[in-house]
């Protein structure tokens, strides 16, 4: 029920129309939206002028979500594969009972370790999905857990684990106060910002230059963001060398902030000695950057009153992703900008996840190792790049039953063809999704999930990533269409059928222990069965901003948030001077010289050039695409959009390709055909191809849009998976370009 909704008009000629404030959950700014609902159907979305931070701003994707909500291609009923291979509607009870029976059989024969789960990007935008996923994983002892994180951000968590002893502590650039933003591998004008939750990010960035500050964008492409500010055209995967060179210059020229180093860090001498060989001259070939430019950049960064260093997916999908994320923060620290106003700062969590996981030990690094390849887990997940091999490699612990929720890994992980070929070897494949997508089209069951407008929500992980901390609770805006169900309910129903209770109260499991403790403190809760709303309220009220059940007067609770349906700002800025509480290493000092990193620096070598594959391919995000799942939306696909590689005219000329031609991109692992679009935006030697195209699901317009899966070019060879965090290598892959005759 939408009890917090604003009833604007009611019963107008028998039609009931409501306008309901909510927020968008497609990407990280979480822009405020107003939904117009007529007779239980969504008719329109518009930007919410009363949202305290997005203030009437939303992008075309958010507005166009109406088309997804009402898409006739959506899956609204449970589907089961018949013997003849068709998908057929079945009842929820039939689907769940059959899945339960097959799982019990598998577990009896092969143990719980034969069961696995992949959760995709949209799961991060649903607190209840994430919560029940984690609860189920912990209660069942699931090992085969994979996520979009190994194609996105797990390197960042590992870097934080090494630096701070706290994987979930990720600094954000203090955009409102900084004088200098050094941004690597991010294009927030299109992506709207990631690992930072910043509505109106364009205004925040131009605010820096309007104050007289600088924004420097390090990227092989002169992006939409770079064009507004200063562009440094680095070669793909050159970031480790650039960052090491910047540190080398700082140390050599005595520009480091000695006081900050003394106060905050350990391992300074080792780091200094490990970067000594990376002079701007030595690294120039690999970075493609003029040594003078690098020296000047180091000096400017050191001399700025305040500076923040920020890296995003462009720095996460290369071959040295963990090292790069590590050096990003090291650079902030060495210049005295870590945990300082205008620098790289640590937001306060809405729920004390970092503290809880340190105390209860549930979200860490390298507690387990994968069966195939021996990769360390990152927050309980293994690299998705090895999922296909975990299915096809015989032996104990083989992955035999896979669930995917809110994910399309055939499209999003490297070597999608290998995964697509492995999936039929599973004994059971179940997907929870809005669509028949490129992955679940061969699933045994597809279970219909609610959209974000059909469930209540609170963006738990994002408050700590917002330079202006804020939050918002939303009720569901419409009742679920058809028979769609919330993921947590589906997870709960499946868990129950194999005798697992995600949030069983009891001493055996960390979450259960925590819950028991909370229930002892709050007797009223003792009898209630845990629901996501109940748990979120508990976590919120006992969390850093919480009302402590009345002990803290201005604290928050869900009922308080319900009284602010447009969202509330929790504080004007992120508090600084908190590093000692963030860092969990002995002595509360940031470790600048963990063995893993020093070894990486000592052994760092460039990928040898291969004349057969003279170019490098990188990714590119477009304003009207969202990973793989918004290509069925008519307003976003207008103007005959097509899947195109962006190519520098010099490289095109060498390959004999003109603008608009069809061309073939080939790597050692695969080959795709796309349209060539020539542009000087790319540095020579680099081409950019968007991911998430080449559809063959149940989304008809998306299928018709054509294109190819760029991840067919990518490798899942164990040697190509980044060792420290299991990151997929999706940027900087050597390729060849040929005309298609
Ligand atoms: N080459 C290359 N590959 C990349 C990247 C890149 O930059 N380059 N980027 C990587 C990154 S950062 C990411 S995050 C991944 C994304 O990888 P994935 O998460 O695997 O894929 P998505 O394309 O986001 O697909 C999301 C799926 O969730 C469904 N969905 C949407 N909303 C909901 C919901 O509320 N509930 C449920 N149950 N389902 C829902 C959609 O229909 C879709 O099928 O791709 C990665 N792959
Ligand atoms: N419109 C739109 N918005 C999105 C998404 C989307 O698909 N479409 N996806 C969402 C998701 S899941 C995420 S994780 C975020 C990602 O958010 P961002 O990371 O800001 O998004 P990208 O546009 O992929 O930016 C990566 C940049 O890195 C550059 N790059 C590639 N290789 C290298 C390299 O080796 N070094 C350096 N320095 N740069 C490199 C690319 O040219 C690109 O400009 O965006 C989110 N927002
Ligand atoms: S920027 Fe992201 S959160 Fe905001 S409306 Fe667009 S898709 Fe939604
Ligand atoms: Mo992502």
Q: What is the pLDDT of residues 236-277, one digit of tens each?
A: 999 999 999 999 999 999 999 999 999 999 999 999 999 999
Task: Give yes or no on whether 161-346+578-603 and 615-739 have one common fold.
Answer: no
Q: What's the pLDDT score for residue 627?
A: 98
79-142+351-457+470-499 maps to which CATH number?
A: 3.40.50.740
CA-CA distance, 313 to 557, in Å (whole number)? 34
User: What's the gap in Å between 152 CA and the centre of ligand 4?
Assistant: 5
- Would you state the structure tokens that stand for residue 363, as one six-digit string? 């979200």
Ramachandran sector of residue 587 (left: φ over 0; alpha: ψ -120 to 50; beta: rest): left
The pick from 145, 193, 194, 406 for probing ligand 1's pocket by mutation, whose C-beta has the most ligand atoms within 8 angstroms, reads: 406
The residue length of the chain stands at 741
Chain segment 484-520, per-residue pLDDT in tens: 999 999 999 999 999 999 887 655 555 566 666 666 6
Whether residue 333 is predicted with pLDDT greater than 90 in this model: the reply is yes
Whether residue 3 is predicted with pLDDT greater than 60 in this model: the reply is no
Binding-site residues, ligand 3, Cβ < 6 A: 24, 26-27, 29-31, 58-59, 61-62, 192
Tell me the mean pLDDT in the region 572-592.
96
DSSP, residue by residue, 57-100: ---HHHHTHHHHHT-TTS--S-EEE-TTS-EEE--HHHHHHHHH
Q: How confident is the model at residue 5 (pLDDT cuts 50, 70, 90)?
A: very low
pTM of structure: 0.96
Strands of the 6-12 sheet, one edge to the other: 6-12, 15-23, 32-38, 41-47
Q: What's the pLDDT score for residue 395?
A: 97
Q: CATH number for 16-63: choose from 3.30.530.20, 3.40.50.1820, 3.30.200.210, 3.90.650.10.
A: 3.30.200.210
User: What's the gap in Å between 329 CA and the centre of ligand 2?
Assistant: 19
Judged by average pLDDT, the poorest of 2-16, 310-324, 337-351 is 2-16
Pairing of strands 32-38, 15-23: antiparallel
From 426, 526, 422, 432, select the one nearest 483 (Cα to Cα).
432
Ligand 1 atom closest to Cα of residue 621: 7
Q: What's the pLDDT score for residue 525?
A: 61
User: What's the gap in Å between 721 CA and the centre of ligand 1?
Assistant: 20
Judged by average pLDDT, the poorest of 126-130, 509-513, 619-623 is 509-513
Q: Which CATH class is domain 615-739?
A: mainly beta
Q: What's the pLDDT score for residue 278?
A: 98
Tell me the mean pLDDT in the region 129-149.
96
Ligand 3 atom 4: residue of nearest CA: 31
C-alpha distances in Å from residue 34, one per residue of 13, 37, 57, 61: 22, 10, 11, 14
CA-CA distance, 583 to 733, in Å (whole number)? 36
CA-CA distance, 217 to 176, in Å (whole number)? 18
Q: What's the pLDDT score for residue 354?
A: 87
From 452, 507, 409, select the one nearest 120 (Cα to Cα).
409
Ligand 1 atom closest to Cα of residue 730: 1
Residue 646 β-bridge partners: 677, 688
The pick from 125, 183, 185 for probing ligand 2's pocket by mutation, whose C-beta has the most ligand atoms within 8 angstroms, reads: 185
- Would you state the structure tokens that stand for residue 452, as one six-digit string? 């974000």
In the chain, the percentage of residues whose pLDDT exceeds 90 is 92
Binding-site residues, ligand 2, Cβ < 6 A: 27, 121, 152, 184-188, 190-192, 194, 218-221, 223, 234, 236-237, 239, 312-315, 318, 618-619, 621, 623, 625-627, 731-732
User: What's the gap in Å between 468 CA and the centre of ligand 2?
Assistant: 22
161-346+578-603 maps to which CATH number?
A: 3.40.228.10
Ligand 2 atom closest to Cα of residue 61: 1
Whether residue 649 is predicted with pLDDT greater than 60 in this model: the reply is yes
What residues contact residue 665 under an 8 Å CB cut-off, 6+ apart?
Answer: 617, 645, 671, 672, 673, 674, 687, 689, 710, 713, 735, 736, 737
User: What's the gap in Å between 121 CA and the centre of ligand 4?
Assistant: 6
Q: What's the pLDDT score for residue 362?
A: 73
Is 412 within 8 Å of 711 (Cβ atoms)?
yes
Tell me the mean pLDDT in the region 543-548.
95
Is 326 within 8 Å of 162 (Cβ atoms)?
yes
Whether residue 52 is predicted with pLDDT greater than 80 in this model: the reply is yes
Q: Which residues of 658-690 are buried (b: 16+ CB within 10 A; e: fewer)?
A: eeebebbbbbebbebbbbbbbeebbbeebbbbb
Q: Is any ligand 1 atom within 6 A of the Cβ of residue 435? A: yes
Mean pLDDT of all residues in the chain? 95
Ligand 3 atom 6: residue of nearest CA: 59
From 135, 687, 145, 41, select the one nearest 404 (Cα to Cα).
145
DSSP state of 588: G
Q: What's the pLDDT score for residue 2?
A: 40
- Ordered by start, the domain boundaries in the chain are 16-63, 79-142+351-457+470-499, 161-346+578-603, 518-569, 615-739
Chain segment 277-328, per-residue pLDDT in tens: 999 999 999 999 999 999 999 999 999 999 999 999 999 999 999 999 999 9
Q: What's the pLDDT score for residue 513?
A: 64
CA-CA distance, 23 to 21, in Å (whole number)? 7
Q: What's the pLDDT score for residue 7?
A: 47
Number of alpha carbons in the 13 Å side-chain half-sphere of residue 159: 23
Q: Which residue has the higher pLDDT, 283 or 9?
A: 283
Q: What's the pLDDT score for residue 512?
A: 62
Tell me the mean pLDDT in the region 93-100.
98
Residue 214 β-bridge partners: 180
Query: Using CA of residue 708, residue 667, residue 626, residue 697, what is the dihedral sign?
Result: positive
The pick from 191, 324, 627 for probing ligand 2's pocket by mutation, whose C-beta has the most ligand atoms within 8 angstroms, reads: 191
């Amino acid at each position: 029920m939408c009890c917090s909704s604003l009833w604007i008009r009611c019963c107008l000629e028998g039609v009931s129309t409501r306008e309901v404030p909510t927020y968008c959950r497609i990407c990280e700014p979480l822009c405020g939206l107003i939904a117009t609902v007529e007779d239980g159907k969504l008719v329109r979305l518009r930007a919410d002028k009363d949202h305290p931070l997005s203030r009437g701003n939303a992008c075309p994707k958010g507005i166009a979500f109406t088309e997804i909500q009402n898409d006739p291609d959506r899956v609204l009923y449970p589907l089961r594969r018949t013997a003849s291979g068709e998908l057929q509607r079945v009842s929820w009870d039939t689907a769940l009972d059959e899945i339960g029976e097959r799982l019990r059989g598998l577990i009896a024969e092969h143990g719980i370790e034969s069961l696995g789960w992949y959760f995709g990007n949209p799961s991060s935008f649903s607190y209840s999905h994430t919560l029940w996923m984690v609860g189920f994983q912990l209660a069942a002892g699931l090992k085969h857990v994979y996520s979009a994180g190994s194609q996105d951000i797990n390197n960042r968590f590992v870097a934080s684990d090494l630096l701070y002893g706290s994987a979930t502590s990720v600094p954000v650039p203090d955009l409102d106060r900084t004088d200098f933003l050094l941004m690597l591998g991010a294009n927030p004008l299109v992506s709207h910002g990631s690992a930072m939750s910043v509505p109106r990010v364009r205004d925040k960035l131009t605010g820096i230059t309007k104050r007289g500050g600088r924004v420097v964008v390090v990227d092989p492409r002169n992006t939409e963001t770079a064009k507004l500010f200063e562009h440094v055209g680095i070669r793909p995967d050159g970031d480790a060398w650039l960052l090491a060179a910047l540190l080398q210059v700082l140390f050599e020229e005595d520009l480091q902030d000695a006081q900050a180093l003394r106060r905050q860090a350990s391992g300074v001498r080792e780091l200094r000695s490990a970067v000594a060989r990376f002079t701007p001259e030595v690294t120039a070939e690999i970075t493609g950057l003029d040594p003078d430019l690098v020296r000047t950049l180091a000096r400017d960064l050191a001399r700025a009153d305040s500076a923040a260093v920020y890296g995003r997916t462009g720095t996460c999908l290369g071959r040295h992703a963990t090292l790069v994320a590590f050096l990003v923060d090291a650079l902030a620290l060495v210049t005295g900008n870590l945990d300082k106003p205008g620098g790289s700062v640590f937001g306060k969590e809405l729920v004390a996840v970092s503290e809880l996981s340190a105390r209860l030990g549930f979200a860490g690094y390298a507690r387990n190792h994968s069966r195939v390849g021996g990769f360390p887990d990152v927050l309980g997940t293994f690299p998705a790049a090895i999922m296909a091999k975990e299915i096809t490699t015989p032996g104990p612990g083989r992955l035999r039953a896979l669930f995917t929720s809110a994910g399309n890994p055939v499209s999003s992980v490297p070597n999608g063809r290998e995964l697509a070929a492995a999936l039929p070897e599973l004994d059971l494949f179940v997907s929870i999704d809005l669509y028949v997508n490129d992955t679940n089209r061969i699933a045994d069951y597809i279970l219909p999930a609610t959209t974000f407008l059909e469930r209540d929500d609170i963006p738990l992980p994002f408050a700590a990533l917002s330079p202006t901390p804020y939050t918002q609770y939303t009720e569901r805006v419409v009742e679920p269409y058809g028979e769609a169900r919330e993921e947590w309910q589906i997870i709960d129903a499946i868990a129950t059928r194999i005798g697992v209770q995600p949030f069983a109260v009891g001493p055996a499991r960390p979450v259960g222990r925590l819950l028991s403790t909370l229930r002892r403190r709050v007797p009223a809760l003792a009898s209630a069965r845990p629901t996501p709303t109940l748990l979120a309220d508990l976590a919120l009220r006992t969390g850093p901003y919480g009302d402590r059940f009345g002990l803290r007067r201005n604290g928050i609770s869900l009922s308080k948030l319900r009284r602010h349906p447009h969202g509330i700002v929790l504080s004007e800025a992120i508090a600084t001077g908190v590093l000692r509480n963030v860092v969990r290493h002995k002595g509360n000092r940031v470790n600048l010289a963990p063995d893993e990193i020093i070894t990486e620096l000592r052994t760092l070598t460039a990928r040898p050039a291969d004349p057969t594959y003279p170019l490098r391919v990188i990714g590119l995000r477009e304003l009207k695409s969202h990973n793989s799942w918004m290509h069925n939306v008519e307003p976003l696909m207008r103007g005959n959009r097509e899947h195109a590689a962006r190519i520098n005219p010099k490289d095109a000329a060498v390959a004999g390709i003109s603008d608009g031609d069809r061309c073939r991109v080939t790597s050692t692992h695969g080959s795709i055909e796309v349209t060539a679009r020539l542009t000087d935006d790319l540095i020579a030697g680099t081409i950019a191809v968007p991911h998430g195209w080449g559809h063959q699901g149940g989304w008809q317009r998306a299928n018709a849009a054509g294109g190819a899966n760029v991840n067919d070019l990518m490798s899942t060879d164990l040697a190509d998976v980044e060792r420290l965090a299991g990151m997929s290598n999706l940027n900087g892959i050597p390729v060849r370009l040929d005309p298609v005759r």
